[in-house]
Chains A and B, each alone.
Chain A
């Protein structure tokens, strides 16, 4: 969590943070622009996630930082040093490749020793053994990569990069090839290792859950641009665009007209119902907006039941679908204006479940709602949810 504090203090412009600084970074390919005038600051020592759907430019950004792709425009700085045009083998940056890219003709020991041998630094044998211990592969040193399991190969790839003590470690979908259980395990292990080595990790992924569990700062990327950047809880609770609202978890977005912005609350006419949204969660410029609320923040009750949510109460709902998931129940509720809203309710066992056809009313505390610009598509990012 200390990284979080560090991040919020990170200066925005030009001042050296010792971290990675991208300015106006652009990469155009023959037929499309992969990365479009990107500005990004990654504070030193943070675990940073670049999150986005496939094709959003996150891997291209990573490859430009690694030096494997030449930017069309813009600069990449690492602390004081401009590395934009440095060859990949001259940058203090290492990569854990997607599918690992371990050298099949070398054993595990030689794979890990590859970097140190090129740089002719210190005591290679001792360093390699120490690194293999860190990733708990000390007894596999003489095996070939093909003889190891996916999780073990993943750790070799990590060791092979980390042994060079890079200033920035780039991870390109490092857990994508692993099954779910192993992925969870590696997420925890990656965090442990990051704590231990205290290197800046930049983790590219399309898996929002993975990004939220591991990173202390997430940048959500879409179509070559950063949509929003911040701590996972901040992004989740207060998304600034419909894309972030839909891509990171799920959101109910309801069309409304802004009635006034008085004090610290914005009042909105949402389909004829007056609701309020906190001022710091209002990200709509015009006089219309999308009222956003996360499904688990929505309370569901019988009509007329006094719900613990003063402020926004929406009557006239009919339950259309009930999915019992075990820890929670997911309802689809058709509202008076025809839209279906999602509601997640914890199965505390305090009352019976609603059934399809039940008349209900919904409510939520105004502090949990957010208001987004009506010019953005309500479905942006919704279909791209991670697998």
Chain B
């Protein structure tokens, strides 16, 4: 008896090994390297070399210097996630309940943008939002935008880019959740004196919460750390934390500061996610 148990245990570890190896190689070692780099002496350079001196001031300095970018990233990420949630919910609801036999086609259309590179799609927004482009001209003609107004290189363009690029990450989990809802539950709510609006908030919305939680996480996390949208659609006043880390690494060669910022970003997101999931209370959903 005890031998079989031990045997089972051994088999379990053997089966776990590939995953553990993967984690060690591609997460733990790089992560260790990142944390170590963030604690290098700040005056180190590629010529003089670096040493781990537990330079915690790298962190305090990074926060002091770059907190506007950190806050801006959280703000842009939050706005983009919120916009994605509204657009994505409507889209996912329509695909799940109203698209009939077009359902599969609609889903393919949602992921169709992935057939083109992220970079190319973001670049094409530059053309669409350009100063003498169709959008700007139309808005100017309608006097929604002033004669000198423009869209490209504004916070609007950055948030719009984020919303556009991460929308599928919101739609797919939302669709998976909404599609699972038995439509008769919605009919039952109507039968029990809930008008469509009340029925939505009492039945559809709570039952779709798992999709809302995973969709917002899948959107918010990459959106906060994104640097492509800001780099292509923003200006120097819209710099996000991702851009800062990228330029510290590749242009300023300030590895300790860049690493410290990366770790800060990561811890911040982990803290937010844990708090969020706890509040959303997924254990209460089913």
Q: Tell me if B250 counts as interface (CB < 8 A to partner A).
A: no
Within 8 A of A (CB), among B266-286: 284-286
Complex contact B286–A105 (CB within 8 A): yes
The residue of chain B having its C-beta at the shortest distance from the C-beta of A66 within the complex is: B191
Among the 9-residue stretches B15-23, B117-125, B192-200, the one with 4 or more Cβ atoms under 8 Å from chain A is B192-200
Complex contact A118–B194 (CB within 8 A): yes
The residue of chain A having its C-beta at the shortest distance from the C-beta of B185 within the complex is: A101
Task: Mark A78-111 against chain B: 1 for CB-CB distance below 8 A, else 0.
Answer: 0000000001110001110111010111000000
A277 to chain B, nearest CB (A): 47
Within 8 A of B (CB), among A28-86: 66-68
Give Cα A17–Cα B191 distance, bound, in whole angstroms.
24
Number of A-B contacts (CB under 8 A): 65
Complex contact B190–A105 (CB within 8 A): no
Kindly list chain A residues whose C-beta atoms are within 8 Å of the C-beta of B132. Answer: none
Kindly list chain A residues whose C-beta atoms are within 8 Å of the C-beta of B188. Answer: 95, 97, 101, 103
Choose from B190, B202, B206, B286 the contact partner of A88 (Cβ within 8 Å): B190
Give Cα A357–Cα B207 distance, bound, in whole angstroms.
66
Choose from B185, B190, B193, B206 the contact partner of A68 (Cβ within 8 Å): B190
On chain A, which size bracket covers the interface? 20 to 34
Task: Mark A126-168 against chain B: 1 for CB-CB distance below 8 A, else 0.
Answer: 0000000000000000001010000000000000110010000
Give Cα A297–Cα B254 distance, bound, in whole angstroms.
101
The residue of chain A having its C-beta at the shortest distance from the C-beta of B194 within the complex is: A118
Give Cα A164–Cα B193 distance, bound, in whole angstroms.
9
Complex contact A114–B184 (CB within 8 A): no
Kindly list chain B residues whose C-beta atoms are within 8 Å of the C-beta of A19. Answer: none
Choose from B187, B202, B285 the contact partner of A97 (Cβ within 8 Å): B187
Q: Contacts A104-B286, A105-B285 given: A89-B187 contact, CB under 8 Å? A: no
Q: Tell me if B91 counts as interface (CB < 8 A to partner A).
A: no
Give Cα A151–Cα B285 distance, bound, in whole angstroms.
24
B100 to chain A, nearest CB (A): 11
Q: Tell me if A301 counts as interface (CB < 8 A to partner B).
A: no
Complex contact A68–B286 (CB within 8 A): no
Complex contact B206–A89 (CB within 8 A): no
Complex contact B184–A101 (CB within 8 A): yes
Kindly list chain A residues whose C-beta atoms are within 8 Å of the C-beta of B187. Answer: 68, 88, 97, 101
Complex contact A89–B195 (CB within 8 A): yes
Complex contact B286–A118 (CB within 8 A): no
Complex contact B285–A68 (CB within 8 A): no
Complex contact B203–A89 (CB within 8 A): no
Give Cα A94–Cα B191 distance, bound, in whole angstroms.
6
Kindly list chain B residues whose C-beta atoms are within 8 Å of the C-beta of A164. Answer: 192-193
Give Cα A146–Cα B182 distance, bound, in whole angstroms.
14
Complex contact A104–B207 (CB within 8 A): yes
Choose from B182, B185, B191, B286 the contact partner of A89 (Cβ within 8 Å): B191
Complex contact A103–B193 (CB within 8 A): no
Q: Tell me if B189 counts as interface (CB < 8 A to partner A).
A: yes
Give Cα A115–Cα B192 distance, bound, in whole angstroms.
5
Give Cα A93–Cα B193 distance, bound, in whole angstroms.
10
B186 to chain A, nearest CB (A): 9
Within 8 A of A (CB), among B151-208: 182, 184-185, 187-195, 198-199, 202-203, 206-207
A191 to chain B, nearest CB (A): 23
Kindly list chain A residues whose C-beta atoms are within 8 Å of the C-beta of B207. Answer: 104-105
Q: Tell me if A119 counts as interface (CB < 8 A to partner B).
A: yes
Give Cα A118–Cα B191 distance, bound, in whole angstroms.
11
Give Cα A146–Cα B286 distance, bound, in whole angstroms.
9
Kindly list chain B residues whose C-beta atoms are within 8 Å of the C-beta of A105. Answer: 203, 206-207, 284-286
Give Cα A144–Cα B283 distance, bound, in whole angstroms.
13
Complex contact A115–B185 (CB within 8 A): no
Task: Mark B203-245 against chain A: 1 for CB-CB distance below 8 A, else 0.
Answer: 1001100000000000000000000000000000000000000
Q: Contacts A101-B185, A104-B286 given: A119-B203 contact, CB under 8 Å? A: no
Kindly list chain B residues whose C-beta atoms are within 8 Å of the C-beta of A103. Answer: 185, 188-189, 203
Kindly list chain B residues whose C-beta atoms are within 8 Å of the C-beta of A146. Answer: 286
Kindly list chain A residues whose C-beta atoms are within 8 Å of the C-beta of B194. Answer: 89, 114, 118
Kindly list chain A residues whose C-beta atoms are within 8 Å of the C-beta of B285. Answer: 105
Give Cα A223–Cα B181 distance, bound, in whole angstroms.
31
Kindly list chain B residues whose C-beta atoms are within 8 Å of the C-beta of A99. Answer: 184
Kindly list chain A residues whose C-beta atoms are within 8 Å of the C-beta of B206. Answer: 105
Complex contact B184–A89 (CB within 8 A): no
Instruction: Identify which of A95, A144, A160 gathers the most chain B CB atoms within 10 Å of its CB.
Output: A95
Q: Contacts A101-B184, A103-B185, A105-B207 given: A68-B195 contact, CB under 8 Å? A: no
Kindly list chain A residues whose C-beta atoms are within 8 Å of the C-beta of B185. Answer: 101, 103-104
A-B contact pairs, 5 of them (CB 8 A): A97-B184, A97-B191, A99-B184, A118-B193, A119-B193
B interface residue numbers (CB < 8 A to A): 182, 184-185, 187-195, 198-199, 202-203, 206-207, 284-286
Top 9 A-B pairs, shortest CB-CB distance: A118-B193, A115-B192, A101-B184, A101-B188, A88-B190, A89-B193, A114-B192, A95-B191, A105-B206
